[in-house]
Amino acid sequence: MSYSVAAKDERPQVTLYTSSFCGKCRFAREFLNRLGIPFEEVPVYTPGVVEELLSRTGMMAAPTLRVGQDYVTGYDPGRFTLALIKNGWIEDKEDN
């Protein structure tokens, strides 16, 4: 399948929570960059982030992708894609 960035004005913010020693964080970063998704990268050890991740997901994992109110823990391109589609960031070119 191929995807393109959806042309919408109001899309929820995309945040990638990472740690400096996390190899899968690099894959997650490359995945978002390859799709052309603008995102904010936040270290998981930033004050308040551990508490946020624990309360929202029940764990502290890097990488964690947040799209709007949806969280995806761990690097999972399929689940990342579903969260981005659900929140209007990408659309499947083959369906259009």
What is the set of domains in the chain, with CATH numbers?
Answer: 11-86 (3.40.30.10)
pLDDT reported for residue 39: 98
Q: What pTM does this model have? A: 0.85
3-class state of residue 43 by DSSP: strand
Distance in angstroms between the alpha carbons of the first and the last residue of the chain: 12
pLDDT reported for residue 92: 72
- pLDDT of 29 > 90? The answer is yes
- Can you tell me the distance from the alpha carbon of 18 to that of 66, in angstroms, rounded to the nearest whole number? 11
Residues 1-21: pLDDT tens digits? 555 555 556 799 999 999 999
Residues 48-95: pLDDT tens digits? 999 999 999 999 999 999 999 999 999 999 999 999 999 999 987 665
